[in-house]
Structure 1
Amino acid sequence: MHDARIQQGHAPLLDHLRHVARDARCKSYVDLFGACASLSVNRDIAMQAASDVLMRCLSQALGRRPILFRAGEPETSFDEDWLLALARSLQTGDTASCTFLLHSRVPKHAHRNLVFLLGNVADNFPRI
């Protein structure tokens, strides 16, 4: 199901996050809470910064390093599927799905920051 969507070119957000995650591997540790407070008010800068912080801090929110494939890879990991589902639920205002997805994998204290970061990034992608 997800393979067909990606092959049709419907996953620009996923490719974007995969690129950012690859670049973030060589960067130093960033605290999820401190990083959210430092994002710019410039929309373009804020989106890139949110993408970077999201991918650098996602392992903190999940409690382990997420599995992310290379950009353009037709397969998706469970972590990628979960992240896209969360982004879709944020974008469509599906609070029930968002709450379920967050509670299934993320400690309560990290919900707000993860929603802020992913929402900031997802807002720049009309189709998820």
Structure 2
Amino acid sequence: MSVSMVSALRKHPSNPVPMAPELPAPVMDILTDVRRAGLVCRTAARADVFRTCALLASDNRVTRTGFAKALVQCLTQVLAKKPVLFRPGVSELSFDERWLGSALCAARRGDAASFAFLMRRRVQAEDRRCIGFLIQALARET
């Protein structure tokens, strides 16, 4: 496809170019919870990744909101950069939200290879188990 065709497609209102791949509604609901948790956790104290996961694993009463808060606090520590989370209601997705949405989708469909690939791309080896636990727990809460 030529450059002029691509620019024509982008300008034409009947052929919008999607900003992000479509995510299933349950995954978007989880991302909304993560965004809300991001607003709350901006001023929260840092949490130890391993201790947080150990506490959550031992408590079967933890809600999706609890897992979302733990994930936001832990992602802030384990990713190379602070994750970008938009406010709830924003239709666009940040790179970090798209990555998380893809990981949630892989976990929901039981695609271990895709999930492992996504984890290896962003999370250091020593933190993958804990972050993977949090993401998979959120995926089960739908």
TM superposition score category, shorter chain reference: 0.7 to 0.9
* Pair 99,74 (structure 1): closer, same or farther in 2 beyond 3 Å: same
Question: 2:87, 2:73 → 1: CA distance?
Answer: 16
Count of residues in correspondence between the two structures: 122
Question: 1:4, 1:102 → 2: CA distance?
Answer: 19
1:89 maps to a residue whose letter is: A
1:70 maps to a residue whose letter is: R
1:68 — aligned with what?
Answer: 85
CA contact 2:41–2:69 (8 Å) conserved in 1: yes
Identity of aligned residues (%): 30
Is 1:12 matched up with 2:29? yes
Q: State how 1:30-41 maps to structure 2 within 5 Å.
A: 30-39=47-56, 40-41=59-60
Question: 1:93, 1:83 → 2: CA distance?
Answer: 15
1:58 maps to a residue whose letter is: L
2:42 maps to a residue whose letter is: R
> What TM-score do the two structures reach when normalised by structure 2?
0.78
Question: 1:46, 1:16 → 2: CA distance?
Answer: 11
- Which 4+ stretches in 1 moved above 6 angstroms? none
1:32-55 residue CA offsets vs partner (Å, 9 max, x unmatched): 11111112221xx24332211111
Question: 1:13, 1:47 → 2: CA distance?
Answer: 8
Is 1:79 matched up with 2:89? no
Question: 2:21, 2:74 → 1: CA distance?
Answer: 29
Is 1:28 matched up with 2:33? no
1:87-110 residue CA offsets vs partner (Å, 9 max, x unmatched): 111111111111111111111111
Question: 1:14, 1:65 → 2: CA distance?
Answer: 16
Unaligned runs of 5+ in 2: 1-17
Could you tell me how far 1:31 is from its partner in structure 2?
A: 0.8
1:104 — aligned with what?
Answer: 121
